Amino acid sequence: MYRVAAEFIKDRIERIPEIGLVLGSGLGSLADSIEDPTFIQYKDIPGFPETTVPGHIGRFVVGEYRGKNVIAMQGRFHYYEGREMEQIVLPIRVMRILGVKILVVTNAAGGINPDFSAGDLMMIEDHINFLGLNPLRGSNLDELGPRFPDMTYAYDPFLRKKLMEIAQELGIPLRKGVYAMMPGPSYETPAEIKMLKAMGADAVGMSTVPEVIAAVHAGMKVVGISCITNMAAGVLDKPLNHLEVMETAERSKDQFMSLLSNFIASL
C-alpha cells in the first residue's frame, strides 16, 4: 500500500524531499511558508484515510523551505479516530520511500512536569508507549527495516543537540522531557496523570509514538517538539478542552515557527 501511495505522490512532485515534517494540532500553519508548494489531499491518495480532527487540514505540502526540499503533513491520523496502526504510520513509510532521511515530529501535549507552563515548547528526549500497540506488529517489512529495531536513540542525539543550540541562539526557552502517549480521545484522569508522572513522563498526548517507531524502523533520524498547550488533568484545578489546545498553539506559533525554521535551515 505504501509503495502505491508513494508512486502517486512522486508522479505529482518535482522535488525529492529530504526532510519530513509532521505538524500537529494548531501547528500546521508552518506549511503555509513552504515555497513553490504542491498540495496533495490525503483523500486523493490511494489507501489514505481522511483526518477528522479540528486543526488538521489533511494534506501533504511538498516544496522548498529554508533552502531544503521538504514534505509536510498538515494533519495526522490518530488511533482514537478508529484508525489501524498501518494507517497511522502509512504517511511515514511513504515519506521514507520518497527519500526522506530526517523526520521532524510535532504535537500538542498536556504538561505533567509542574515546572512547565501552557505555551512552553518541549524537545522530546524519549517516549513511553501507553497505547498498548506497536505499528511493527505482524510480518516485518524487510525492505524498510529490521525485525527488532533498536529504540535506544529513537530521538537522534545529534539533532537534539542542534535543536537545543538553535533555541539558545534565538533566546527561545526550550524544555526537555519524556512524552507519554495515551490512546484518547478522552483526556486523562488526575490519577492517570499521577501515574504518568511517577513513571517519568513530562508531557502527555495522543499521537507521535507510532510514527516515531515506524520512522526509526525505516532508518530515519527523528527529532520531536511538543507544544505544551495545557497543563494535564489535576496539575491545575481547571477542566480541559480542545479549544484551549488550539488557542495556546496559536499563541505559541511565532516561537515554534522561528525555532523550527532556523533548525531546518541549519540541517
Residue 25 annotated in active site: yes
Q: Considering 107, 113, 226, 230, which one is annotated as catalytic?
A: 230
Q: Considering 6, 73, 95, 108, which one is annotated as catalytic?
A: 108
pLDDT of residue 166: 97
pLDDT of residue 169: 97
Is a pLDDT exceeding 80 seen at residue 158?
yes
Q: Model confidence over 220-245: pLDDT tens digits?
A: 999 999 999 887 765 656 665 666 66
Q: Considering 31, 65, 78, 122, which one is annotated as catalytic?
A: 78
Q: Considering 206, 215, 231, 233, which one is annotated as catalytic?
A: 206
pLDDT of residue 242: 63
Residue 80 annotated in active site: yes
Domain 2-266 belongs to what topology? Rossmann fold (3.40.50)
Q: Considering 25, 113, 226, 252, which one is annotated as catalytic?
A: 25
Q: Considering 107, 113, 207, 226, which one is annotated as catalytic?
A: 207
Is pTM beyond 0.85? Reply is yes
Q: Considering 5, 31, 56, 154, which one is annotated as catalytic?
A: 56
Residue 242 annotated in active site: yes
pLDDT of residue 195: 96
pLDDT of residue 138: 96
User: For 71-76, what is the mean pLDDT?
Assistant: 93
Residue 217 annotated in active site: no
The single residue listed with the C-alpha cell 529490521 is: 146
Residue 7 annotated in active site: no
pLDDT of residue 252: 76
Least confident of 55-59, 126-130, 229-233, 234-238: 234-238
Is a pLDDT exceeding 60 seen at residue 156?
yes
Question: For every residue of the chain, which 3-state class applies, written as one string?
Answer: CHHHHHHHHHCCCCCCCCEEEEECCCCHHHHHHCEEEEEEEHHHCCCCCCCCCCCCCCEEEEEEECCEEEEEEECCCCHHHCCCHHHHHHHHHHHHHHCCCEEEEEEEEEECCCCCCCCCEEEEEEEEECCCCCCCCCCCCCCCCCCCCCCCCCCCHHHHHHHHHHHHHHCCCEEEEEEEECCCCCCCCHHHHHHHHHCCCCEEECCCHHHHHHHHHCCCEEEEEEEEEEECECCECCCCCHHHHHHHHHHCHHHHHHHHHHHHHHC
Q: Model confidence over 163-222: pLDDT tens digits?
A: 999 999 999 999 999 999 999 999 899 999 999 999 999 999 999 999 999 999 999 999
Residue 108 annotated in active site: yes
Give the confidence band of 75 by pLDDT, cuts at 50, 70, 90.
confident
Q: Considering 72, 81, 95, 181, which one is annotated as catalytic?
A: 81
Residue 206 annotated in active site: yes
pLDDT of residue 137: 97
pLDDT of residue 1: 81
Residue 155 annotated in active site: no
pLDDT of residue 246: 67
